[in-house]
A and B are shown apart, each in its own frame.
Chain A
Amino acid sequence: MSVVHSAPRRAPGRPQPTRSPLRVVPAARPRSPRAPFVLLVVTLLAGGLVGLLLLNTSMQNGAFQLAELEKEAETLQSRHAQLSLEVEERATPAALAERAAELGMVPNTTPVFLRLSDGKVVGDPEPAARGESPSGVGGPSPAAVGARE
């Protein structure tokens, strides 16, 4: 037992050859494949390019459409102006009087009034006669009388 026990023991303080502490070495990282990234970038670039192209095209189209519509609006506007001028010309007192005279209408020179308070007719009702009083139709043009020089 003593022998066993006297089995030489390492004397304390005696240097021992040092062993570096063991660590777990991480497994070699698997290399990520390059292809998807390239694909992504290319897709992005291509998408951007195509988008830009589409945007540009649509804007060009828009510009042409704008120009066309503006032109159309202008045409319609001028047509509107032309038509309103015609309306204005037909609505002038001179045109209306002429038209009324053509229809055989004559001006009433002796108007009478119905007084609402007592229901009395004020004035003597008389049928208007044709060509009795100057209706304004016919006669000299205002631009053709007087000392013009």
Chain B
Amino acid sequence: MSPAVRNRARFCFVVVATLLVIFAGRLFQIQGVDANAYAERALKETVQPTVLHADRGRILDRDGEPLATSLDAQSIIANPRFTAKPATEIASILAAELGVDYFDTVTKLRREGTQFVYVARKVPAYQASSAMAKLADAGLLNGVTTERDAVRTYPGGTLGATLIGLVSGETGEGTSGLEKAFDDDLTGSDGKATYETSPKGVRIPLARQTMKEAVPGADVVTTIDRDLQWYADKRLAAAVRASDSDWGVAITVDLETMQVLQLSQLPTFDAEDRSTVTPASMNNRAVQNVYEPGSVQKVVTMAALADAGLVTPQTKVRVPSELRLDGFTISDWWDHGRLRLTAAGVVAKSSNLGTIALAQQMDDATMHDYLTKFGFGQPTGVGLSSESRGILTPAERWSRAQHATISFGQGISVTAMQQTAAVAAIANGGRYTSPTLVTEVRRADGTTVPRKAPESREVVSPEAASMVTTMMEAVTSPRGSAPNVSIPGYRVAGKTGTAWRVNPDTGRYVRGENTVSFIGFAPAEKPRFLTYVVLDNPQGGGSGSGTAGPVFRDIMQQSLQRYGIAPSGSRAPRTPVKW
């Protein structure tokens, strides 16, 4: 090797070595010293983390028809890095298409320090896609994307709205009704996806991806019959309007299963129109509102007395014209002298004094016991949250007057659901079963969430129950207090209630203000449905038979017809009301 060649080789070696050392140093700097920062910067360019929204479960009626469902909607998302420049153009298109505020949108599109801004949420899918198409035409699509974002819809509008409830527009959590009571089941768990994309938003194949599938919420299958619910809502609304009542409740249960077929509560709102939502209209009155039931309670008293062997429909009662107890004068709703009524007559004519006379045979503790067994003073557990237990004073604190008034439903406060369940026990041969509103909570994978079985217990003997049914049939007979409530062809057992109304502010009865109601079941010989109608504070006082009775009759008739319950053709027993 000549020296010239050797020198050249040395020189080249030095050059190459120097370069390698520089490269090694840089490599060490990048990989060893700043590695994480660089990796992060690189990922930030391309990685898009997205939340996979889980659908909220549906609320269904007993036939699987939707009462509340989630509609596919989209949220419109902007990446201000790309949208800051053409913000005004984009905003004007979005404002025109989606009705969002223009200035608000411009601010969002120019927000600094982020690459992810919600421009609009819960946009109906068709609106979102038409807006995106407009943006695409204008060449402004860069940096604007959409994402699924479900919105809650209630196809029925006002149908059972208070019962079904609402979800919060912000968080999607249930805020009232079944939406609240079953929020945990209805809410799914969101998934997450992270993947690398090209700057245009196309996923890079084989690039790093992580994915956690969203789990949709469970469907809540209610016992509500949508058609009957709608009819009851309308019928009750007509009555509330006509009588100018403060509120109204109508409940129908299927006595075979104790499932609530319809639960109509007014005032209510249109679930599709948030402007109609007021605090009063969100109150599930059937379980949250307590009131004094009045004469409807007489059938419960009679059932207790009959079970204790103290009364039969033929028991003879001398009814005084009035009664003074603890300084109170108690009288009947019609003026009369001394009357001779049978126990059936006492119920048929709704005599307070006759009921007191019969109830005197039972001591406070026994009566309190029966009331407790009938479910008073405790929530029914029907499946709605914030259920009231009503007001049942402990027996030790009963005065003589209270014993008397409780027997005809004053001085005791109940919820409509409690009263329904109690009288249903009489219709069901003395067996109390707590009512249910929800049959099944069905997860997306087909499994069901286990639920507590409704509790069931014998309260009075079948004989006692049948005696009281006989008494209640006399109510709708021509000699009873509500002959207008009879349904042609059917035997109807019922009871009117016209209770003095307590002013919630003063805690005192107000003269001329009543809570009127009618409870009944049909067909009396083989009870299938029970309906309870309550109207609070109707104009001019109203009456159980005249104001609530017709609503009961129409809803009951509709139920019988809808479920094809044929009249048996048997005749109601002719029970004497006088002696």
Residues of A with Cβ closer than 8 Å to B? Answer: 59-60, 62-64, 66-67, 74-75, 77-79, 81-82, 85, 88-89, 91-94, 97, 108-111, 113, 115, 122-124, 133-134, 136, 139-149
Contacts and interface: CB of A to CB of B under 8 A. Distances in A.
B567 A92 contact: no
B202 A67 contact: yes
Contact of B126 (A79, A97, A108, A111): A79
Contact of B148 (A59, A74, A82): A74
B161 A92 contact: no
A115 B245 CA distance: 42
A123 B489 contact: yes
B569 A148 contact: no
A147 B280 contact: yes
B270 interface: yes
B72 A78 contact: yes
Nearest to A93: B230
Contact of B203 (A63, A79, A113, A134): A63
A27 B395 CA distance: 127
A92 B157 contact: yes
B231 A92 contact: no
Nearest to B564: A113
A94 B159 contact: yes
Contact of A136 (B126, B204, B235, B248): B235
8 contacts: A75-B129, A78-B129, A82-B72, A85-B69, A92-B155, A94-B157, A113-B564, A139-B237
Given A93-B231, A145-B241, A146-B248, A110 B488 contact: yes
A98 B484 CA distance: 29
B54 interface: no
Given A93-B227, A141-B237, A142-B264, 19 more contacts: A59-B205, A60-B205, A62-B205, A67-B202, A78-B125, A78-B129, A79-B126, A81-B125, A82-B125, A94-B159, A108-B561, A123-B567, A139-B234, A141-B158, A143-B276, A146-B247, A146-B280, A147-B246, A147-B280
A95 to B, nearest CB: 9
A130 to B, nearest CB: 17
A75 B129 CA distance: 8
B50 interface: no
A78 B74 contact: yes
Nearest to A59: B205
B234 A134 contact: yes
Given A113-B567, A145-B267, A85 B71 contact: yes
B296 interface: no
Contacts of B278: 148-149
A143 B281 contact: yes
A9 B151 CA distance: 126
Given A78-B72, A122-B566, A146-B246, A89 B155 contact: yes
Contacts of B227: 93
B266 A124 contact: no
Contacts of A67: 201-203
Given A143-B158, A145-B267, A88 B66 contact: yes
Majority-rule SS of B interface residues: mixed
Nearest to B148: A74
A134 B242 CA distance: 13
Contacts of B229: 93
Contact of A63 (B202, B233, B238, B561): B202
Contacts of B489: 122-124
Contacts of A113: 564, 566-567
Contact of A88 (B155, B245, B248, B268): B155
B159 A93 contact: yes
User: Which of B227, B237, B240, B561: most chain A CB closer than 10 A?
Assistant: B237
Interface string B152-166: 010111110100000
A133 B554 contact: yes
B453 interface: no
Contacts of A75: 125, 129
B394 to A, nearest CB: 33
B276 to A, nearest CB: 5
Contacts of B69: 85, 88
A148 B554 contact: no
User: Which of B72, B248, B567: most chain A CB closer than 10 A?
Assistant: B72
B412 interface: no
B295 to A, nearest CB: 23
A81 B71 contact: yes
A85 B155 contact: yes
Contacts of B322: none
Nearest to A89: B155
B206 A59 contact: yes
A91 B156 CA distance: 9
Nearest to B560: A111
B65 interface: yes
A139 B238 contact: yes
B236 A142 contact: yes
A145 to B, nearest CB: 4
B48 interface: no
Interface string B554-575: 1001000100101101000000
A82 B124 CA distance: 8
A25 to B, nearest CB: 36
Interface in B181-225: 201-206
Given A142-B236, A143-B269, A136 B231 contact: yes
**10 shortest interchain CB distances as A-B pairs:** A78-B125, A146-B267, A93-B230, A81-B72, A113-B566, A88-B155, A147-B246, A136-B234, A142-B237, A143-B270
Nearest to B202: A67
Nearest to B74: A78
A77 B205 contact: no
B110 interface: no
Contact of B557 (A109, A140, A142, A147): A109
B157 A122 contact: no
B204 A63 contact: yes
Contacts of A78: 72, 74, 125-126, 128-129
